[in-house]
Amino acid sequence: MVMNYIWDLLIQAEEEGFLTKDIYFHLAKIYSPYMELSPQLLNSQAIEQHVEVNPYYRYFDIFKDLFHPDHTTDEAFRDALLDIILHFLAEIDRMQGLNKKEYYIRFMLRDIEANVFGKLVRDKIKSFSKKEQEIIALNMLRLYQTGEALYLIKDTLKNIFRNCFIYVKSEENDELLLYIHQKKTIENINKVQLIQEIFLPIGFQMEVYWQYHFGIIDVEETMKLDRIALY
């Protein structure tokens, strides 16, 4: 899908790890009257930090006099003003497109950043992508609404770690066995610790197995030599 609007570009930039303040809008030297963004390659999906824009596509009344051909001074100031105003207009676009749930997600992420849920959660949320942070915030809201912590820890883990398996072992103590088919990295450890902190029900323990599954009798895939974790 071709990006055509400034808000569309900023959303994709955030999903790829850019900060909106690192994206700079410039008046395009050559542009189509039918498009807001003016990339050199029309179908390019790559995010660039310096973006050429046709500001007259939707905002003619705002910018019609800013770059009048007779104005030859203060070019740097006018470029900076264009960038600031377009960022402001893009945020208005995005706010207008939000529904009630998306506002609640933003409020929840803001509270996490403000240390409302503790230092561990505030620090480790940084290990998640923007989309993953929204998954965490949404399930936190669902936790307040339903109290279904056990279901929500499973749902969160499966959305964050696509190739994971969760087993509930309740013979003596309430215990979850979690297998994640990924390497044990600092980033992945941080993610699991945050999910445990928020969603693990009181009284439960969780044992985590990375990369290699523990052996299960009669399940051939888990009984391969050199690929079994001991339980």
Transcribe 178-202 into DSSP letters.
EEESS---HHHHHHHHHHHHHHSPT
When mean pLDDT is compared across 88-97, 98-107, 164-173, 196-205, the lowest value belongs to 164-173
Evaluate if residue 57 carries a pLDDT over 70. Answer: yes
When mean pLDDT is compared across 18-32, 94-108, 117-131, the lowest value belongs to 94-108
When mean pLDDT is compared across 42-46, 142-146, 153-157, the lowest value belongs to 42-46
CA-nearest of 59, 60, 64 to 90 is 59
Phi and psi, residue 81, nearest 5°? -65, -40
Evaluate if residue 170 carries a pLDDT over 90. Answer: no
Instruction: Find the angle CA(42)-CA(44)-CA(50) to the nearest 5 degrees.
Output: 90
Evaluate if residue 137 carries a pLDDT over 50. Answer: yes
Average pLDDT in the chain: 84
State the pLDDT at residue 140: 95
Q: Please, which pLDDT band fits residue 96 given cuts at 50, 70 and 90?
A: confident
Instruction: Identify the residue whose tokens are 């610790």.
Output: 193
Evaluate if residue 37 carries a pLDDT over 90. Answer: no
Which residues have C-beta within 8 Å of that of residue 63, sequence separation ≥ 6?
A: 55, 56, 82, 85
Question: In whole angstroms, what is the distance from residue 216 CA to residue 225 CA?
Answer: 13
Higher pLDDT, 78 or 95: 78
pTM higher than 0.85: no
Evaluate if residue 46 carries a pLDDT over 80. Answer: no
Q: Please, which pLDDT band fits residue 194 given cuts at 50, 70 and 90?
A: very high
Question: In whole angstroms, what is the distance from residue 12 CA to residue 5 CA?
Answer: 11
State the pLDDT at residue 210: 85
Question: In whole angstroms, what is the distance from residue 167 CA to residue 165 CA?
Answer: 7
Evaluate if residue 188 carries a pLDDT over 60. Answer: yes
116 burial class (0-12, 13-18, 19+ CB within 10 angstroms)? exposed
Evaluate if residue 50 carries a pLDDT over 70. Answer: yes
State the pLDDT at residue 215: 55
Higher pLDDT, 27 or 45: 27
State the pLDDT at residue 176: 87
Evaluate if residue 225 carries a pLDDT over 90. Answer: no
Strands 24-27 and 175-180 turn out to be unpaired
State the pLDDT at residue 229: 47
Alpha helices in 37-129, H assignment, sequence order:
56-63, 75-96, 100-113, 119-124
